[in-house]
Structure 1
Amino acid sequence: MSTAHVRKVAGTEPSSSVTAQNPAASADCPADSAAVPVAPAPSSAVSAHPTHPERMPVRGTPAHHLAVQDRLATWVCDLSLLHELTERLVRVPELEDALHEVLRAGATLVGAQRGMIALESADGLVPDTTVGLGLARPDLGTLETVPHEDHGARARHGDTPGGPADPSHPEPGAPAETVHRDLLHEPGLTPRHREVAAQLGLGASYALPLRAERAGRLGTAVWFYDEPTEPADRQRRLVGLYARFAAEHLARCLELGRARCTTAALTAELLPARLPRVPGVRMAVRHKAGPRGGGDWYDALPLPEGALGLAVGGVTGAGPGAVAAMGRLRASLRAYAVMEGEDPVAVLSDLELLLRLTEPARSATALFGYATAAPGGGHRLTLAGAGHCPPLVVGDLRCEYVETSLSAPLNMLSCWEAPSVELCARPGESLLLYTDGLLHRTGESADRAFARLHSAAQGAPWLVRDDPELLADHILHTVLPDDLDRADGREDLVLLVARFD
């Protein structure tokens, strides 16, 4: 006599978990539950909880399949949302923009309306920065008056019933999050905390520390609710995973920002700190370095017998290597200009020979001018160029380019040679020396860019042409409209204006 067959009930044995029931899901999702967002079980899945076997759907029944499908669908939705938010974050390279993106994404994940991130670190490598979402600058200043250490805060640790410890905290026992369900009535909060919450209309808050693996603690992200509440366990898990990724991205942004600042400081030290005072000549310069640091440079140096040397140029490449090569090239040109500055062709010939011997894999463009006072007024200029943009003479009676770009750049041919050009700058005329970054930033073809520069110089009012500082600003603003003159471009930009009285 055979015994009656007893149907197995889902949840009565370890093999009946969702992971075991769906091997395909196990292969796609990490085995560690901390790496997979766990969503609240839907109504059909609640009945399958092991503590209620009498209400569980039988394995193989439609209700059981629906519970598994609901759980898997929730996982897929959560992972898709995290993928979308992290993809948006990696497309933001600048630190301040990345901070705002983290705030917006975190607000989406925890269902908050406002938030703030305060960057601060013990080692001092992180700049103290505070940005807000839905908060004005005065509101951020008010929030900064709240004590950082609130002993009445309810901190969740790794043994939180909602799930494993937050992955953004590698240290065991460190609080993974700080939750204030009711900022106005929760016991233990400082009076200042309550006062600020009432002033800004904050009902609840949820805070997560931002900690990178190598950089350590970067700061804290806080999201605020208008009413007393707290995020659900699923929301906590998702924002914790996102915060771990966001902290690493912010650390990379900080490292990139420090590298850019270092390169910019090095470039500034290699260029003249100020322009010299030369009788009969007034000068102004505008220099903007690219994000990676480039090799564009300028120089103005007094020479023997009251002469003046003017130079602009650029080396190929970008980054610290190009900046260092630019410094060596500029220092060498200064030495050659002091020795034989009255012959610009000889100066550039010596520079080309040095570049060929010391840096055979690098080329450069350069323009050097030698200016002396003319007996009848004005100044006599002798110019020589090596593949560089032609200078522009601007005055009341003329606005024309000086053809000095008939030769190749330095270190491009077996032997560099080019003729010099002589001209007389009348009193009131200005000489514009610039690098090709000014033309490239327009985004137009070379012919159009040259025409735009010529039109900008020719259309400058008399009062603007009389002041080299005003003329330099006018040229940049006209040639690069729509705030392109202040925006960070991909290339260096140099504009040197010399007005002869």
Structure 2
Amino acid sequence: MMIEKSEAALRRSRLLLHASEALSATSTTADVLVTVPALLRDTMGATHAAVVPAGPPSGAVSAVSEILTGAAIRDRRSQFYESAIDLTVEHPVLAEDLAHLGWQAAVCAPLPGESGAAAGALLLAWDEPRTFYVFDRAVVATLALYVGQALDRAVKHDARTAITEALQQAMISQLPQVDDYDLAAYYRAADAQRVGGDWYDVIPGPQDRLALVIGDVVGHDPAAAARMGQLRNMLRAYLVDRREPPSTLLRRLDAANHALGEPTMATAVVAFIDRAPQGGHRLRWSNAGHPPPVLITPTGEVRPLTGNDTLLGARRNTPRHTYTAALPSGSTLLLHTDGLVETREHSIDEGFARLHRRLRRHDATRPRDLLNHVAADLARNCSDDIAMLAVRVPRAGAPAPADETARRLGISRPAR
């Protein structure tokens, strides 16, 4: 007798250890709802197993399951049915359905919820009559506890993820409609549960000027995202209100950054594309510790636009400079954060070299295709957040924005 009890205890321990390991690997509600039925069929030998959430009936759960588990959820007490007769006596309305399903025994066990009410129930069914000994009932109760804890953890995980995704989407800028330029942007968070500090902006301005911004706040948490939002909104106001070169705008931004409390450490590039006095287009930019913009000519030449000052928040009154470069007709400008070139396997210099090789090989004619190709080749191995912004300069002889588009965007047109 003692040997049988020892063997039963060992078997129970193995079953529950297997269940604990399987459930610890779940993170989302969908994971739990997929893992649990397979786990219960494996550990209990059930022919049918399901998790039935508490609440209004849903199309995802059969009416038979809803009715069978209703009492267990309501009374927070397990229901054991050892034969088809037990099932039909307790639930005569289900007699025909149960006969069709072939269920000869079943268990409905409530899942403990955080507030004391049952969060749902486990449903197990067998195609043969079954006697539920003390051992079986103890295993069912423990499994229900494990599943309830896993489901509670998964629900909280899903809620956090939904909040994070909503926050992140609210912080991703929408690209404006600009007739002269072909624009594209890419953003990827390193972790679905983490809000990043990367951002980009495109703001049309007067006299056909296009302002481009990309930045990266130190950190990868909601606090970093909040600091990023503060910097981004201050810079947006300066870009709309001021008619100053990029270096002056970054000086203003950093002065406010230091004056309004603990300064935020961040890198950023502010760049203007406009029509050069001699014709064509030019780029004016200022760089605060950020990866350099990359110019890709129609012939495939790839040139990083160097010129870099101290990152934002490092020290007060940092000297900043505006650099200028001609933009060949039909060329593409790429701005990106360091997540694209920094990996655990390669140094940042190797990352830049890999990016430039990829850009030289690209045959995409549109910025959107370019970013997709770069992301497919490089971003999959990166563990940091990534933001990219690309703009293609119009080819020679391309018309200026239509009057209606200019009016809609608030662009004042110079006298011709």
* TM-score normalised over the length of structure 2: 0.80
Cα-Cα RMSD: 3.4
Residue 331 of structure 1 deviates from its aligned partner by 0.4
Residue 78 of structure 1 deviates from its aligned partner by 2.8
Matching of residue 208 in structure 1 with residue 103 in structure 2: no
Please tell me whether the aligned partners of residues 206 and 230 of structure 1 are also in contact (alpha carbons under 8 angstroms).
Answer: no
Residue 176 of structure 1 deviates from its aligned partner by 1.6
Letter in 2 for 1:235: D
Determine which of 104, 117, 140 is the counterpart of 1:239: 140
Please tell me whether the aligned partners of residues 26 and 154 of structure 2 are also in contact (alpha carbons under 8 angstroms).
Answer: no
Give the match for residue 89 of structure 1.
23
Letter in 1 for 2:45: G
Secondary structure of 2:149 counterpart = helix
Matching of residue 105 in structure 1 with residue 9 in structure 2: no
CA 234–412 in structure 1, closer or farther in 2 if over 3 Å, else same = same
Quote the Cα distance in structure 2 between the aligned partners of 1:343 and 1:112: 72
Matching of residue 279 in structure 1 with residue 179 in structure 2: yes
Please tell me whether the aligned partners of residues 377 and 426 of structure 1 are also in contact (alpha carbons under 8 angstroms).
Answer: no
Letter in 2 for 1:93: S
Residue 308 of structure 1 deviates from its aligned partner by 0.9
Secondary structure of 1:407 counterpart = coil
Quote the Cα distance in structure 1 between the aligned partners of 2:286 and 2:302: 17
Quote the Cα distance in structure 2 between the aligned partners of 1:222 and 1:416: 67
Q: Write out per-residue CA displacement over residues 265-297 of structure 1, whole angstroms, 9 at most, x where no aligned residue.
A: 12322332x211223111111222332212111
Please tell me whether the aligned partners of residues 309 and 368 of structure 1 are also in contact (alpha carbons under 8 angstroms).
Answer: yes
Give the match for residue 470 of structure 1.
369
Note the 1:389-404 alignment, pairs <5 A. Answer: 389-404=291-306
Letter in 2 for 1:197: L
Quote the Cα distance in structure 1 between the aligned partners of 2:188 and 2:287: 22
Quote the Cα distance in structure 2 between the aligned partners of 1:228 and 1:372: 81
Determine which of 445, 470, 479 is the counterpart of 2:378: 479
Stretches of structure 2 that go unaligned for 5 or more consecutive residues are 395-416
Q: Equivalent pairs: percent with the same residue?
A: 26
Please tell me whether the aligned partners of residues 146 and 192 of structure 1 are also in contact (alpha carbons under 8 angstroms).
Answer: no
Once structures 1 and 2 are overlaid, which stretch shifts more, 449-458 or 397-406?
397-406
Quote the Cα distance in structure 1 between the aligned partners of 2:371 and 2:96: 52
Quote the Cα distance in structure 2 between the aligned partners of 1:344 and 1:382: 7
Quote the Cα distance in structure 2 between the aligned partners of 1:468 and 1:194: 60
Q: Which has the larger radius of gyration?
A: 1
Please tell me whether the aligned partners of residues 36 and 50 of structure 2 are also in contact (alpha carbons under 8 angstroms).
Answer: no
CA 179–417 in structure 1, closer or farther in 2 if over 3 Å, else same = farther
Secondary structure of 2:197 counterpart = strand
Q: Write out per-residue CA displacement over residues 2-56 of structure 1, whole angstroms, 9 at most, x where no aligned residue.
A: xxxxxxxxxxxxxxxxxxxxxxxxxxxxxxxxxxxxxxxxxxx2xxxxxxxxxxx
Matching of residue 314 in structure 1 with residue 207 in structure 2: no
Quote the Cα distance in structure 2 between the aligned partners of 1:309 and 1:195: 71
Stretches of structure 1 that go unaligned for 5 or more consecutive residues are 1-44, 46-66, 131-142, 157-168
Higher helix share: 2
Matching of residue 305 in structure 1 with residue 207 in structure 2: yes
Note the 1:270-419 alignment, pairs <5 A. Answer: 270-272=171-173, 274-289=174-189, 290=191, 291-340=193-242, 342-360=244-262, 362-374=264-276, 378-404=280-306, 406-419=308-321
Residue 341 of structure 1 deviates from its aligned partner by 5.3
Matching of residue 148 in structure 1 with residue 66 in structure 2: yes
Determine which of 48, 51, 70 is the counterpart of 1:117: 51
CA 261–472 in structure 1, closer or farther in 2 if over 3 Å, else same = same
Give the match for residue 393 of structure 2.
500
Quote the Cα distance in structure 1 between the aligned partners of 2:211 and 2:125: 61
CA 74–368 in structure 1, closer or farther in 2 if over 3 Å, else same = same
Secondary structure of 1:366 counterpart = strand
Give the match for residue 160 of structure 1.
none
Quote the Cα distance in structure 1 between the aligned partners of 2:104 and 2:345: 50
Quote the Cα distance in structure 2 between the aligned partners of 1:312 and 1:438: 13
Quote the Cα distance in structure 2 between the aligned partners of 1:222 and 1:341: 68
Letter in 2 for 1:387: G
Note the 1:26-45 alignment, pairs <5 A. Answer: 45=1
CA 393–227 in structure 1, closer or farther in 2 if over 3 Å, else same = farther
Give the match for residue 33 of structure 1.
none
Letter in 1 for 2:392: R
Between 1 and 2, higher relative CO (CA 8 Å, sep ≥ 6) is seen in 2
Letter in 2 for 1:347: L
* TM-score normalised over the length of structure 1: 0.68
Please tell me whether the aligned partners of residues 404 and 420 of structure 1 are also in contact (alpha carbons under 8 angstroms).
Answer: no
Give the match for residue 190 of structure 1.
94
CA 302–76 in structure 1, closer or farther in 2 if over 3 Å, else same = same
CA 376–361 in structure 1, closer or farther in 2 if over 3 Å, else same = closer
Give the match for residue 429 of structure 1.
331
Q: Write out per-residue CA displacement over residues 208-246 of structure 1, whole angstroms, 9 at most, x where no aligned residue.
A: 333322384433433454555466542332232122132
Quote the Cα distance in structure 2 between the aligned partners of 1:227 and 1:449: 62
Quote the Cα distance in structure 2 between the aligned partners of 1:366 and 1:496: 13
CA 431–213 in structure 1, closer or farther in 2 if over 3 Å, else same = same
Give the match for residue 250 of structure 1.
151
Quote the Cα distance in structure 2 between the aligned partners of 1:440 and 1:419: 26
Letter in 2 for 1:477: A
Quote the Cα distance in structure 2 between the aligned partners of 1:215 and 1:493: 43
Please tell me whether the aligned partners of residues 250 and 320 of structure 2 are also in contact (alpha carbons under 8 angstroms).
Answer: no
